[in-house]
Amino acid sequence: MLRSVLSTVSGIYRFCHLCYNNLSILKFDDRTILSQDRIVPTHQGDPLGSLLFCVSIHPDLLRLQSELVAGFMDVLTLGGPSDVVAADLDYISSIQDDTGLCIDASKSEIISRGSRPRAAHFEGFISVAPEEAELLGAPLYAGKKMDDLLENRCSDINFAISRLSLLSAHDALMRLKMSFSAPKMLHTLRCSQCVNHPCLEAFDNQLRKGIDTICNLSLTDIQWLQASLPVKDGGLGVRRVS
């Protein structure tokens, strides 16, 4: 890890060397666990932890030959012909003694249409149909996974509104705007092709009813349109997701 920092972001090397040159030791009962024995050797709570981890594995990711190589910390996604992906899995396995990272087949998925590739490299992988696949919490395609996720979001906001109605109107409206409405959907909206999905309209309807309940009024269509504008434009800032 320190070698990677020196070659990539040398400006912070001295600081990282000060923090990580000596092993940290965790004592548990009669056992001793060294920091280098963990999957992520950085200290818990270190703001630089994610950067240091990613800088360390980035050179190995560049050597992979798959058409799609996407890494987020220790979550790696490969895409392409099965023989090319299998060769990359071979490479990852060959360097696990140096990196300390190994493939956990019980947590790995293989997403493909039609028959499952027969290569031994995929043994133990979980088979997932494309319409049921997700990556880092975001559905990859329209289908059952996306329907279930958006329906759950509608149920969540309905439950949240039932509790927010117990608070004062101002506190409830601020929490609805900042936490329980559009912010709950942003990750899905940014990462998944869910435009025009019927659940988005249903989510907005729940949101509108929530404002009615919290503010003890009944918004007309024009008033709801204005309320969903940003505050700088004269609205309440409770944005519609549709």
**pLDDT at residue 19 above 60?**
yes
Give the distance, in angstroms, between the CA of residue 233 and the centroid of all CA atoms in the same chain: 32
pTM for this entry:
0.69
Per-residue pLDDT tens digits for 73-96: 888 999 998 889 999 999 998 888
pLDDT for 63 equals 92
Q: Where are the beta strands (DSSP E) in the chain?
A: 25-28, 31-34, 68-72, 75-79, 109-111, 126-128, 134-135, 138-139
Per-residue pLDDT tens digits for 28-81: 888 887 766 555 567 778 888 888 888 988 888 999 999 999 988 888 999 998
**Closest by Cα among 59, 42, 39 to 51:** 42
CA angle in degrees (0–180, nearest 5) for 222-167-149 = 65
Are residues 131 and 145 in contact, defined by beta-carbon separation less than 8 angstroms?
yes
Are residues 55 and 4 in contact, defined by beta-carbon separation less than 8 angstroms?
yes
Domain locations in the chain? 2-133, 138-233
